[in-house]
Amino acid sequence: MRRIITISREFGSGGRELGKRLAERMGVAYYDNEIVTAIAQKSGLAQSYVQGVMENRIQSYPIHYGRTFSLYSLPNNENQIHIFAAQHEILQEMAQKDDCVIVGRCADIILKDYRPFNLFVYADMPSKMERCRQREPEGEHYSDKELEKKIRQVDSGRARYRRLFTSVKWGSREGYHLCVNTSGIPIKDLVEVVYDYSQVWFAHQTEGGNK
């Protein structure tokens, strides 16, 4: 049985760091921005355009997987069809290859036949702002108000992009197996307990539902 962890996360919650560290702990591949690069290569589109669509800064219509596949399933232009198709193919290839940790890109929905362990990582606004400040590149400085606005905007884009794939709301508990609030806790201290939790979860998945 394949052991795949998908991570959905609020911007600034430390979800990416948790993903990287979990992948290290499991000794498996970690996929994040690589996915955008691979989609750009496969579709022949510019990486910035692909990124724009995936952050939902470019308008598109819902596409649904599984039971809810519906009349609304056509993206609104050819480029977006290419992006959706490439995203699907690339995530499938990654999942087929080996166990892995995948951050974002609706991997929890697209790979649901693999029964991944779906984690949602979040935090309160002060913690997210503090984490963002710590990784602020030199020369870049947002005011508190701007930073908060940016955090909310990124998350809104993620929520909108997710709506193209599923009717289950981004960040709503029913879409995930575990939701972790990282406020005030260094990510490195969460790795072992989240890893242990995932192992209990994997141990209870039957072979039947898995590829």
Q: Which of 57, 141, 149, 173 binds a second copy (CB under 8 A)?
A: 173
Q: Which of 31, 120, 161, 165 binds a second copy (CB under 8 A)?
A: 120
| Residue closer to a second copy (CB basis): 63 or 190 | 190
**Residues listed for the chain:** 211
| Residue closer to a second copy (CB basis): 52 or 171 | 171
For the chain, the C-alpha Rg in angstroms (whole number) is: 17
Q: Of 20-28, 126-134, 157-165, 197-205, which part binds a second copy (CB under 8 A)?
A: 197-205
DSSP code at position 72: T
Q: Under a CB-based contact definition with an 8 Å cutoff, are residues 110 and 87 in contact?
A: yes
Q: Which is it for the CA torsion 44, 46, 48, 49, positive or negative?
A: negative
| Residue closer to a second copy (CB basis): 63 or 180 | 180
Show the CA angle centred on residue 49, arms to residues 44 and 55, nearest 5°.
130
Binding positions for a second copy, rule: CB under 8 A: 120, 122, 124, 171, 173-174, 176-181, 183-186, 189-190, 192-194, 196-197, 200-201, 203-205
